[in-house]
Structure 1
Amino acid sequence: MSQEKLAREIVQGVGGESNVVSLVHCATRLRFTLKDNAKADKAALEKTDGIITVKESGGQFQVVVGNKVPEVYAAIGEVSGILNESKNGENSKDKASAGKKGFGAVIDVISSIFAPLLGVMAGAGILKGLLLIADNFGWLPKTSSTYIILFGAADSLFYFLPVLLAVTTARKFGGNIFTAMTIAGALLLPSVTALNGAETDVTFFGIPVVMMSYSSTVIPIILAVIVMSKLEKFFNRVIHESVKNFLTPMISLAVMVPLTLLVFGPFGVYVGNGIADALLAAFSFSPLIAGAILGAGWQLLVIFGVHWGLVPVFINNIAVYGRDGIKPAATASVFAQTGAAFGVMLKTKNKKLKTLAGSATLSAVFGITEPAVYGVTLPLKRPFIAGIIGGAVGGAIIGQGGTQAFASGAPGLLTLPIFYGPGGQGFPALIIGIVASFVISATLTYIMGFKDPVEESEEDKAKSDTSASGKNATTPASSVAPATASAAGSIGETALSPLSGTVIPLADVPDPAFAAEAMGKGVAIEPSVGRVVAPFDGTVTVAFKKKHALAVVSDTGAEILVHVGVDTVKLDGEHFTSHIQEGDRVKAGQLLLEFDIEKIRAAGYPTVTPVIVTNTFDYADVLPLQQGEVQAGDELLETIPGHDADGDGGSKQSA
């Protein structure tokens, strides 16, 4: 598919050009801020050739397209007006209030500001790392003019980072880009920076000014431009049309530069240093444990889009201390998922999956893990878990070895030079850590196995036979289930629908954990009646205090989770009435929970309800038995017995 055609389909899939507030991109994702996410056709986009997956995270509608994202981004600019500055200005008033609240809004702001810089930041970081290596080995001394020129090319981005952040922040908040750049330039002006080392007191109309170095800083200019953008809108409303084009910038500069030096600068530097010191303290307390946690959890943070919260910390550490000891452990997570994808490539007998895993491994080696995670390891589940384990081991080694990052850049094979500092201290631990994470993840993936699509045709036949016999039987499922026990000890069972409504695939649930089947297989139901009943005879194992979810285990071992709505935990139990407690015995069809559909929707939360078999791994498969409309008490899910211990997906039959 041509990039132009793909761009047109993406624009149509996100609800059209008129539904787009803003668009930025990072290394692999197009990050849309939409006026109304409900207008986007997520299911259609995910089926489009050239799109790996679609995520909704941090208030953004993210279309993952992989390494070709710059070309697709440019093509969107050619086929639409989405990238026009005029459009961004028109929609700027909506950007800060596009339906995002709390932490999601913070993540949206951070990602929008930093994402456009990641490519050049990685390139500059690699060059800087290579120069450090060249100096350490005596190939190119620091005193040579060649080194100075090349180092200037590498270090310019980091020194003038406030100017670049002024541009991206102004775009995000609809401010005047040139005014924002001028404010940042004032912070770096030689005559102003010279005041930092002046022996005399620095004042502004008698008010003491705490001078600091603002080169490479992050938080001060972001705060300044956000406030500047708000002031501009106010001045443009109250100043006459004939003079506002020059009076508004004049007032903005006269107010914001002193205000930044007096308030935002010191505050931002202190806050950034405080966060950095807290994280560094965690690494100082136990670098092994801290490294293991970051190595295991980095890809989870990436999946939910919250890793952006740490990006300013990494950059701030390099700006303030000249190095960062937190980011290196994240490199283990990248190579761990790479190893897991490589293990899938070695293990699978399915040609299509082998090709996909191979190409995903190659991309992941260079730091682009989305194709590996979303296309290979996460859908297969066990390889993703193997990657988490491998990342924990590698992160622990890197953390304990004291590896430091001396420049910014996405973790990957090409960016390894950014971790090579004076004397190479900590660099061997990095190499050992990423090798360990790769090898451990690949090995565990191969040993633990996964459900290989190569046996799909044989399994489908077995499933069809089992499903047909289950559907034609007139005896209740609970009475016939023990007769289907397998060699592995799992028992087939039919679960009844706990709700009335419309059955939809889990992939359409606007929550990545459910959509990726990370919690287990099942279906989702858009409820028409606010009642949840027991899916079989069993015991309530989980009854959340906030009443939005519950779990029941059957007498034969099937575990069903019913999660009413998405993010409804934030309602703190409002609009829910629970009729059970943990440990209660329940009968099939017994009322467990009631909820007010309209009030939950009015509060802004989707009511689509995942119904999940949380112990999916105990079975060969979990089959949906209904499509379209379903009534509470109808047969909904069937667990297929015969899951084998080695995880290759084959169905073992006892003699």
Structure 2
Amino acid sequence: MDYAKTASGILDAVGGPGNVTHLEHCSTRLRFTLADTHEVDHARLKAVPGVMGVVGTQPQVVIGNDVVEVHAALTRLTGMGPGHGGAAAAAVGAPADGSRGGWGARVLDFIVGVFQPLIPAIAGAGVLKSLMLLATMFGLSKNGATYNTLVAISDATFFFLPLLVAVTTATKLNTNRLVAVAAVSVLVLPPMTKRMADGTSVFGLAIPNVTYSSQVFPAILAVLLLAVVERFLTRVTPKPVRIFFVPMVGLLVTVPVTLLFLGPLGFRLGTGFTTGVLWVFHTLGWVAFPLLAVALPFIISVGMHKAFIPYVVNQLSTAGYEPLYNPVSLAHNIAESGASFGVALRTKDTEMRSTGVSAGLSALFGITEPALYGITIQNKRALISVLSGAAAGATWLGVTHVTSYVAVGPGLASMSMFINANDPRNIVNAIVGAAIAFVTAFVVAMLTWSDAASATLKVRGVVAANAPANPDRALSPHDVLSPTDGTVVPLSEVSDRVFAGGVLGDGCAVRPTSGEFRSPAAGVVSMLFDTHHAVAVSTDDGVDLLIHVGLDTVRLNGTHFTAYVTKGDRVEAGQLLITADLDAIRADGYDTTTPVVVTNGAAVHVGAVRAGTQVAAGAPLFPVSTRATADVVS
């Protein structure tokens, strides 16, 4: 991928650097905040090479595994550093068109902005601890200095989680990060936590005894208040004293209010959210697993899966385990992988095969967006394969009570997240569930996939949009297909003596009603005129075909024609070759009748032409066979 070209195309499609107020990325998506979303050209954005999909009014551009590199290229183009807005940021505090979305969209955007940056630290520390637990199962002592030193890395990450949340929240709110950390650090200061346990007060009001280590919501509420106070004070404070007065008063207001009110409220919010999710889990039991599994592709496709992050982080940081979302995500991720590999093996299209393999590998390691946007959502049969595998795998995981212990995207490389030193069966059942998901999705994809039924291939023009889902039952393998919609006429009725006399070869012609011209058979483009009015295809069966759009249209010098292939390209039957503006060609005085001719007639026999019939692109025109085969048949 040309990262600079992709970044430039994306930037142009979203309205240019002046329209970008904020840009960040997650594991697979670029997340824009734009001053005016009406400037976005969604069709153009989706057509940019490297873009897998676009979600939301404030666009989330799905890139896949190359998102970091594309984001870096965008940063260079816009001059935006981490946590900074673009050229429009200084001029606008919110999109000028009021299109930030409803409260739901804005809350979700805030949640993603706060929690997504936490994942690398939490995941890295969590996986490290799970690997240390694995090491103890092979003889490493839990009482040894090495074990305790390395485990302290993970423990410190979660203990000081409120400080990490303060940084990400302040970044999202564009407030002073270090002042935010100073405000929140009081909540986990050891002497302060001891005084809260013993009973203390501020301004004569008793401070509730709450343990804030490993909590996330108290820190978020504290920084929200700090941001409001800081903005107000910045507006009213004289500039000479602003550098110390604003943070001093901000801390003086924020810390006591947080200790007295916001901290306890945030603690209850986190506990209540987690309790609600666990209530669903305990009420439905294992049935909750397949239900969530079949919903995940649709939830992820619109970005709503990020709403689970606060629950997962809070549950893991407080209870040390998570019993629902991560196990179900494992089943879904691996099912996406199995379906993608199944499609890759079944498809005859090289680009789809490449997408299937790369997306399958990504999903196997926990990154599902390439599979989801590249294959699953666009193709009903692939989606059914994923749903089947995810439901089957999740059912096993639910019945066997598999539990996770790390906040990381479940996949092959992160299976240690299911290690429980006190229950070795947990990791075994997780592996079995993943295998069930993969095999089920793979087998269903192998049994059901058809290129002819693929919406992706139809959009790309690899197969005709009206091609039958099972073409082998409708067509002979030796049929030459119509390149376009129209009426079939014999060559003898073509008003060009070269074609009518069979000088170039036998075949027929089509009077087209559509300006799209597709390959009549699978093969290789052996010739494309510079004027793009004619193209030749050498088929896999050794038939040389010429498709000549219009009569004497070489005189147009390429005007009104667009080619979608080049010489040497591999093409499939029904793949788009050329488009032509038929009305403009006729207006210039040219006949649009399109001969389809077999040019190596000495080696190929042309059968009966279905003259006088109305055909659609992909319908049979005439059968062909080699001369040797024809002689044997006769």
Residue 378 of structure 1 aligns with which residue?
A: 377
Q: Any residues of structure 2 matched to 1:115-126 within 5 Å, and which?
A: 115-126=116-127
Residue 132 of structure 1 aligns with which residue?
A: 133
Describe the shift of the 1:222–1:95 C-alpha distance in structure 2 as closer, same or farther (beyond 3 A).
Answer: farther
Residue 387 of structure 1 aligns with which residue?
A: 386
Secondary structure in 2 matching 1:21: strand
Work out the CA distance in 1 between the residues paired with 2:616 and 2:429: 46
Q: Which residue identity is paired with 2:486?
A: A
Residue 495 of structure 1 aligns with which residue?
A: none
Aligned-residue offset at 1:462 = 9.0
In terms of mean alpha carbon deviation, does 84-93 or 260-269 score higher? 84-93
Residue 451 of structure 2 aligns with which residue?
A: 451
Q: Does 1:271 align with 2:269?
A: yes
Q: Aligned to 1:280, which of 272, 278, 281?
A: 278
Residue 361 of structure 1 aligns with which residue?
A: 360
Work out the CA distance in 1 between the residues paired with 2:231 and 2:292: 41
Contact 1:95 1:172 in 2 (8 A): no
Q: Any residues of structure 2 matched to 1:91-110 within 5 Å, and which?
A: 93-94=93-94, 99-110=100-111
Describe the shift of the 1:205–1:93 C-alpha distance in structure 2 as closer, same or farther (beyond 3 A).
Answer: same
Residue 158 of structure 1 aligns with which residue?
A: 158
Contact 2:483 2:618 in 1 (8 A): no
Describe the shift of the 1:309–1:48 C-alpha distance in structure 2 as closer, same or farther (beyond 3 A).
Answer: same
Q: Which residue identity is paired with 1:73?
A: H
Percentage identity across paired residues of the two chains: 33
Describe the shift of the 1:179–1:434 C-alpha distance in structure 2 as closer, same or farther (beyond 3 A).
Answer: same
Contact 2:331 2:434 in 1 (8 A): yes
Work out the CA distance in 2 between the residues paired with 1:393 and 1:258: 51
Q: Which residue identity is paired with 1:106?
A: V
Work out the CA distance in 1 between the residues paired with 2:250 and 2:273: 30
Contact 1:60 1:108 in 2 (8 A): no
Q: Any residues of structure 2 matched to 1:324-343 within 5 Å, and which?
A: 324-327=322-325, 328-343=327-342
Residue 319 of structure 1 aligns with which residue?
A: 317
Describe the shift of the 1:20–1:337 C-alpha distance in structure 2 as closer, same or farther (beyond 3 A).
Answer: same
Q: Aligned to 1:206, which of 204, 207, 217?
A: 204
Work out the CA distance in 2 between the residues paired with 1:30 and 1:24: 6
Residue 183 of structure 2 aligns with which residue?
A: 183
Describe the shift of the 1:152–1:70 C-alpha distance in structure 2 as closer, same or farther (beyond 3 A).
Answer: farther
Q: Which residue identity is paired with 2:286?
A: L
Q: Any residues of structure 2 matched to 1:465-544 within 5 Å, and which?
A: 467-468=485-486
- Provide runs of 4+ in structure 1 moved above 6 Å: 458-463, 638-642
Work out the CA distance in 1 between the residues paired with 2:319 and 2:2: 46
Work out the CA distance in 2 between the residues paired with 1:30 and 1:160: 28
Contact 1:33 1:98 in 2 (8 A): no
Aligned-residue offset at 1:43 = 2.2
Work out the CA distance in 1 between the residues paired with 2:297 and 2:104: 19
Give a deviation string over 1:568-619, Cα, whole Å, max 9, x none.
Answer: xxxxxxxxxxxxxxxxxxxxxxxxxxxxxxxxxxxxxxxxxxxxxxxxxxxx
Aligned-residue offset at 1:91 = 6.2
Aligned-residue offset at 1:354 = 1.4
Work out the CA distance in 1 between the residues paired with 2:616 and 2:221: 54
Describe the shift of the 1:98–1:253 C-alpha distance in structure 2 as closer, same or farther (beyond 3 A).
Answer: farther
Work out the CA distance in 2 between the residues paired with 1:141 and 1:95: 56
Higher Cα Rg: structure 1 or 2?
Answer: 2
Q: Any residues of structure 2 matched to 1:599-618 within 5 Å, and which?
A: none
Describe the shift of the 1:468–1:176 C-alpha distance in structure 2 as closer, same or farther (beyond 3 A).
Answer: same
Aligned-residue offset at 1:305 = 0.8
Secondary structure in 2 matching 1:287: helix
Aligned-residue offset at 1:2 = 3.7
Work out the CA distance in 1 between the residues paired with 2:378 and 2:481: 20
Aligned-residue offset at 1:235 = 0.9
Q: Which residue identity is paired with 1:162?
A: P
Residue 289 of structure 2 aligns with which residue?
A: 291
Describe the shift of the 1:120–1:8 C-alpha distance in structure 2 as closer, same or farther (beyond 3 A).
Answer: farther
Work out the CA distance in 2 between the residues paired with 1:255 and 1:420: 44
Work out the CA distance in 2 between the residues paired with 1:639 and 1:191: 80
Contact 2:215 2:267 in 1 (8 A): yes
Aligned-residue offset at 1:465 = 7.8
Describe the shift of the 1:386–1:264 C-alpha distance in structure 2 as closer, same or farther (beyond 3 A).
Answer: same
Aligned-residue offset at 1:457 = 5.8
Residue 303 of structure 2 aligns with which residue?
A: 305
Contact 1:287 1:396 in 2 (8 A): no
Describe the shift of the 1:457–1:23 C-alpha distance in structure 2 as closer, same or farther (beyond 3 A).
Answer: closer
Residue 174 of structure 1 aligns with which residue?
A: 174
Describe the shift of the 1:239–1:258 C-alpha distance in structure 2 as closer, same or farther (beyond 3 A).
Answer: same
Work out the CA distance in 2 between the residues paired with 1:428 and 1:166: 38
Q: Which residue identity is paired with 2:421?
A: P
Q: Aligned to 1:236, which of 210, 220, 234?
A: 234
Give unmatched runs, 5+ long, in structure 2. 468-478, 489-573, 575-580, 582-614, 620-634
Describe the shift of the 1:116–1:13 C-alpha distance in structure 2 as closer, same or farther (beyond 3 A).
Answer: farther
RMSD: 3.1
Residue 46 of structure 2 aligns with which residue?
A: 46
Residue 7 of structure 1 aligns with which residue?
A: 7
Secondary structure in 2 matching 1:90: coil
In terms of mean alpha carbon deviation, does 219-228 or 145-154 score higher? 145-154
Contact 2:321 2:403 in 1 (8 A): yes
Q: Which residue identity is paired with 2:439?
A: V
Describe the shift of the 1:212–1:264 C-alpha distance in structure 2 as closer, same or farther (beyond 3 A).
Answer: same
Secondary structure in 2 matching 1:140: coil
Work out the CA distance in 2 between the residues paired with 1:132 and 1:395: 25
Contact 1:28 1:67 in 2 (8 A): yes
Give a deviation string over 1:213-267, Cα, whole Å, max 9, x none.
Answer: 2222111111211121111111111111211221111111111112112112111
Aligned-residue offset at 1:54 = 3.3
Give a deviation string over 1:179-220, Cα, whole Å, max 9, x none.
Answer: 11111212121112223433xx22222212112222221111
Contact 2:196 2:207 in 1 (8 A): no
Aligned-residue offset at 1:449 = 2.1
Work out the CA distance in 2 between the residues paired with 1:155 and 1:91: 42
Contact 1:122 1:415 in 2 (8 A): no
Aligned-residue offset at 1:394 = 1.4
Secondary structure in 2 matching 1:143: coil
Contact 1:13 1:44 in 2 (8 A): yes
Secondary structure in 2 matching 1:268: helix
Secondary structure in 2 matching 1:66: coil
Work out the CA distance in 1 between the residues paired with 2:352 and 2:129: 38
Secondary structure in 2 matching 1:322: coil
Describe the shift of the 1:116–1:32 C-alpha distance in structure 2 as closer, same or farther (beyond 3 A).
Answer: same
Contact 2:34 2:95 in 1 (8 A): no
Contact 2:108 2:304 in 1 (8 A): yes
Describe the shift of the 1:61–1:144 C-alpha distance in structure 2 as closer, same or farther (beyond 3 A).
Answer: same
Give a deviation string over 1:77-133, Cα, whole Å, max 9, x none.
Answer: 223222265647736832797622121111111111122233333322221211121
Aligned-residue offset at 1:464 = 5.5
Residue 253 of structure 1 aligns with which residue?
A: 251
Work out the CA distance in 1 between the residues paired with 2:317 and 2:439: 34
Aligned length: 477
Describe the shift of the 1:641–1:211 C-alpha distance in structure 2 as closer, same or farther (beyond 3 A).
Answer: farther
Give a deviation string over 1:519-546, Cα, whole Å, max 9, x none.
Answer: xxxxxxxxxxxxxxxxxxxxxxxxxxxx
Q: Which residue identity is paired with 1:294?
A: L
Contact 1:297 1:333 in 2 (8 A): no
Secondary structure in 2 matching 1:385: helix
Give unmatched runs, 5+ long, in structure 1. 471-619, 621-626, 628-637, 643-655
Secondary structure in 1 matching 2:48: coil
Work out the CA distance in 2 between the residues paired with 1:295 and 1:82: 38
Work out the CA distance in 2 between the residues paired with 1:221 and 1:33: 24
Residue 524 of structure 1 aligns with which residue?
A: none
Work out the CA distance in 1 between the residues paired with 2:41 and 2:20: 13
Contact 2:340 2:356 in 1 (8 A): yes
Describe the shift of the 1:247–1:457 C-alpha distance in structure 2 as closer, same or farther (beyond 3 A).
Answer: closer
Give a deviation string over 1:395-434, Cα, whole Å, max 9, x none.
Answer: 1221222222212111211111112123235322222211
Work out the CA distance in 2 between the residues paired with 1:160 and 1:95: 35
Residue 62 of structure 2 aligns with which residue?
A: 64
In terms of mean alpha carbon deviation, does 61-70 or 38-47 score higher? 38-47
Contact 1:26 1:118 in 2 (8 A): no
Aligned-residue offset at 1:369 = 0.9
Work out the CA distance in 1 between the residues paired with 2:196 and 2:436: 46
